[in-house]
Amino acid sequence: MRLQLRIAHTSGDVLSCQRLIAQVYNRHYGVVFSDDIYDLDAKVEPWPHRYLMALAGEELAVVCGLYLRHTYVERFGLVTDAEIEAHLEDAGVRGSYDPRDRREVTKLVVAPPWRKLHLSPAIIAAAHSRDFMEMEAERPPLLTYCCVRTIAEGIMTRHGIRARRLKAFPKYKVHELYRSESNPMDSYLVIPAVDVPPAYRDLRIPGEYALDVLGGERP
């Protein structure tokens, strides 16, 4: 199987991504979205700023969003610049990154017809490429996620991408159907220069790739 990767630039592409995300998030988590307002307790979430699309033929199979600023980790996860700085220090890259330059991968959704084909790992890998995560940036940013522990562990074991746990993510109603006691939600930091394998960092987008190149084959 081959996937065509591209960043959503047109209004049609953005709408296609938002429709897919809204349908899946509403069905599974009861979430709705808005550009103007957000309220995690009312289950209204803000939209990401950019989208990465993976198409199988003409069909949008997987989509992944990116916050260019105002990440969940800082807004709702209450992670501070100093906490990020401490991780940069530990990694020996203090000064190479500005702890305030953060982006966040979010809202990964597989279209229903493409479930069970293990496409999520493929787009997670692609989301770590410079062409996506550094787009429109003046200097390379850091990457954050907030997700349940099994996802973070999956990213580590499957792709070799190191997700550094920052702290537990506070509880909000919007995540009541996503997180659980046995699978808690945390904030994570990825320092691209040291945590992401070059094969993913250097992936060119747009481009067409076999699933195994993206780490998306069945385990």
Partner 1 sequence: MSDVKVLGTFWEAPARPPLCAVSLDLVPVDLLTQWRRCGMISDCFAEYLSYAFEHRDVARSILSTVVNELVENVAKFSADKLAPARLTLEHHGATLLVESRSVSDPVHVGRLEEELAELAAGDAAAVFARLLADRRGLGLALVASDYRAALGATVTPAGAGLSTVCLRAALPASEVEQR
* Positions in the binding site for partner 1 (CB under 8 A): 15, 18-19, 22-23, 26, 30, 32-37, 44
Report the nearest approach of partner 1 to the CB of residue 91 (Å).
Answer: 38
Q: Which amino acid is at 82?
A: A
Q: Compute φ and ψ for 211, nearest 5 degrees.
A: -60, -35
- Identity of the residue, 30 or 170, whose beta carbon is nearer to partner 1 in the bound complex: 30
Which of the 8 DSSP states describes residue 72? H
- CB-wise, 18 or 71, nearer to partner 1? 18
What's the min distance (Å) between Cβ of 108 and partner 1? 17
Q: What is the CB-side half-sphere exposure of residue 66 using CA atoms within 13 A?
A: 26
Q: How far is the CB of 31 from partner 1 (least distance, A)?
A: 8
* Residue 152 · residue 163 · CB < 8 Å: yes
CB of 128 to partner 1, least distance (A): 26
Q: Based on CB atoms, which residue is closest to partner 1, 35 or 138?
A: 35
CB of 51 within 8 A of CB of 63? yes
205 vs 126: CA distance, rounded Å: 8
Which residue lies nearer to partner 1 by CB, 41 or 138? 41
Q: Phi first, then psi: what are they for 118, rounded to 5°?
A: 60, 50
